[in-house]
Chains A and B, each alone.
Chain A
Amino acid sequence: MNRQISGLMLLLFIILIILIILNISLGSVYIPFGKIITFLSGKSLEEKGWENIILQFRVPKAITAVLVGSGLGVSGLLMQTLFRNPLAGPFVLGISSGASLGVALAILAGMSLGKGITQLGIGGSWILTLAASMGAFTVLSVVILVSIRIRDSMSLLIIGLMFGSATGAVVSVLQFFSKAESIQAYLIWTFGSLGGLTWIELKVFIPVILLSLGWAVTLSKPLNALLLGDQYARSLGLNIRKMRLAIIIVTSLLAGTITAFCGPIAFIGIAIPHITRLLFNTANHNLLFPMVIISGAILMLFCDLIAQVPGMEYTLPINAVTSVLGAPIVIWLVIRRRDFSKSFTG
């Protein structure tokens, strides 16, 4: 690792720490910075309300933002490498489509029947989480079954896309026959949400994401081989099929869990691997993984900061911010680096 890269790494790490502190400090409610630092250094505050806001609202949201950014970045990287396609992202296998279908069934069909969500409460986050997980898991199982039978990664990509279209169509039909209120409830879910996770949900969310990230990092070496082609990887003695399965499962765990808890967060998954590759000018996964994890967290924290519109009572939907902010960053980087395709293949 040369000096320039380690300098850049250090810089990103410092930015991450600053953003975490900023994210906890700024929000709709104004809390003096001094109070935040006092509280974060372990002392208690006189204002119990502020303590609660920091502990129950802002810290869980900052943790969620870090894990969502990292998780989506890593799963995007895994998919881009597996398919050797710069347009691939965490949801390319139809995971978010599956999750959307689960949620649409729970909200839209459930409401039409007058049961389900209507009786259990729309904000019943566990119900939505469960519905999304089941939807994502169903699609995932089919994809895994197909991937065991099919040798070609590209076919898998097309099958994933088809799944997306098919589930999208079913969701449209459901929307067509639903009441305005239920369509709105569904739409709100599709906007994404980082603030919905409390410590109870985080008890599940944190370990799943951390373990999946850990598993992904162990795949660095075979992923590097895969970049040079299936043939080359096979010649190194890699079991391609087994590896593909591992990549798909890790991606599904990351993207599926994140979508289940936070809704389909757009753009981060596709943008982060590109941003990282362009910044570090490398395709080596040993380096890419830690950097994708850090930059994913940074971008997500930054987007959330903007979505909060500090100082105002109002909030913006997180998905609007990720796309509006993410697209120009990628375009700028791609234009700046004319040899974009080279950065991808390493």
Chain B
Amino acid sequence: MPFKLCWISLFFTVLLVSCRNNETENRQGSNPVTIGKPLEIKYSTRFSVTMYSSYKELKVISPWPGSMDTFTYRLYHKKIENPSQTTGSIPVALQLPVSSMVCFSTTHLPYLEMLDEQDKLTGFPTTSYISSATFRERVLDGKIRDLGPSNEINIEQIMELDPDLVIAFSMNNDLSMIEKIKRSGIPVILNADYLEDHPLGRAEWIKFIAAFFDKEKMADSIFSEIEKSYLETRAKVTQVKYKPSVLTGVVYGDTWFMPGGRHYGSIFFEDSGAAYLWSDNSSGEILQLSFESVYEKAQNADYWVGVATYGSLKDIEQADERYTAIKAFQEGNVYNYTAKAGPAGGNAYFEEGYARPDIILNDLAKIFHPELMNEHLFYFYKKLN
């Protein structure tokens, strides 16, 4: 099975690469004079920003799981006559500067705040999920409109707001809602930050958002700081020989959802000086395991980090007494990312955490190697009692 998967993914990769090559050739063929200057992207594999003399070109690559599409957007400074709304071969055209926007995911919000563009957000679905204090205040002041539940966004409200831009995301190839918004003349741009495999790849999306505000330089320096801090912590903790073993997740029904060895979650553990018990696994997806196989492998785990919404050891024990057989539970080494869980169901870990992998890494490093991280105070994580 994994062998077969390998072949399938190899096939898709080859296909993807060849598609992208064709695209470059076509563009160069039709427009040989313009040579764009691409922005340096170090970790992200899902977007590119290229500066041309008269416009910027943003590309978003496979924005949902299994997608092989590339979406192209062109941002112009000069007045454009016919802003096009078509996807596919003709790119979506957009007029800069952007003075108002609607975002669909909390993960898009921290970039706006870091770029000091928080006043540009005018609408959001289910605003109660926002945990940032800045945005919460703006919601209370009525400056950010609630657009209804995220799976059935109120399109009439968006049309009334008439933002310059909507930044959306899609979990699958059903783009019907996005098409509906586009038909009303509002440009929609897809974001794929949640699919990045590397933690720094997610944070790098600040460069994508910055393109709409001509703040590429600012984004670059903010990202460099985050990268520097991340790499420093990584260098500090990964040189330690002792690597405590760690497991994550809980069982839902009969299935324990566990990040594969190449998943974002696994990279975090590796970079924070821990030995993730499923790091040998070659999957970048979430594995669906049986409880007994997790128990077999993880009964002697030193740490258990990330336990869904459980708030205490007692909650965990009440949910399923078999959890108590895990060594990390017995020794009280259970941590969860709920220190900044908002009152209305939001959690800063799923918002600010995307943009600040350095803080997450510092938290994790403090869990596994407290002696090296004395000066750091827990931010997203807390120890469960």
Contacts and interface: CB of A to CB of B under 8 A. Distances in A.
10 shortest interchain CB distances as A-B pairs:
A28-B293, A114-B345, A123-B319, A193-B253, A28-B290, A195-B254, A188-B253, A29-B296, A315-B290, A57-B292
A179 B292 contact: no
Contact of B152 (A119, A125, A176, A195): A176
Interface of A: 27-29, 49, 52-53, 56-58, 111-112, 114, 117-126, 176-180, 183, 185, 188-189, 191-196, 198-200, 263, 307-308, 313-315, 317-318
A193 B345 CA distance: 27
A200 B259 CA distance: 30
Nearest to A53: B292
Given A53-B296, A188-B252, A196-B253, A121 B289 contact: no
A188 B251 CA distance: 11
B250 A123 contact: yes
A126 B325 contact: no
B321 A53 contact: no
Contacts of A314: 287-290
Interface residues of B, number: 39
12 contacts: A28-B292, A28-B293, A56-B322, A111-B345, A118-B309, A121-B308, A123-B310, A178-B151, A195-B254, A308-B290, A315-B254, A317-B254
A188 to B, nearest CB: 4
A57 B252 CA distance: 15
B152 A121 contact: no
A122 B252 contact: yes
Given A188-B255, A314-B290, A124 B319 contact: yes
A189 B149 contact: no
B91 interface: no
B318 interface: yes
B156 to A, nearest CB: 17
Contact of B325 (A52, A179, A195): A52
Given A118-B309, A121-B315, A28 B289 contact: yes
Interface in B338-361: 343-345
A317 B255 CA distance: 8
Contacts of A120: 309, 315
B252 A195 contact: no
Interface of B: 126, 128-129, 149-152, 171, 250-255, 287-293, 295-296, 299, 308-311, 315-316, 318-322, 325, 343-345
A313 B250 contact: no
A200 B171 CA distance: 39
B180 to A, nearest CB: 17
A313 B325 contact: no
Nearest to A125: B319
Given A29-B295, A180-B151, 15 more contacts: A27-B290, A29-B292, A52-B295, A53-B296, A118-B309, A119-B311, A120-B309, A121-B310, A121-B315, A123-B251, A179-B150, A192-B253, A199-B321, A263-B253, A317-B253
Contacts of A177: 149, 151-152
Contacts of A178: 149, 151
A307 B291 CA distance: 13
A117 B129 CA distance: 16
A198 B321 contact: yes
A315 B289 contact: yes
Nearest to A182: B345
Nearest to A183: B151
B363 to A, nearest CB: 21
A46 B352 CA distance: 48
B254 A193 contact: yes
Nearest to A263: B253
A29 to B, nearest CB: 4
A204 to B, nearest CB: 14
B315 A29 contact: no
A49 B299 contact: yes
Contacts of B126: 179
A121 B171 contact: no
B292 to A, nearest CB: 4
B292 A27 contact: yes
Contacts of B128: 114
Contacts of B310: 121, 123
B299 A191 contact: no
Contacts of A185: 252
Interface centre among B288, B299, B309, B325 (most CB of A within 10 A): B309
Given A120-B315, A124-B315, A198 B322 contact: yes
A113 to B, nearest CB: 8
A58 B311 contact: no
Given A52-B299, A180-B171, A58 B292 contact: yes
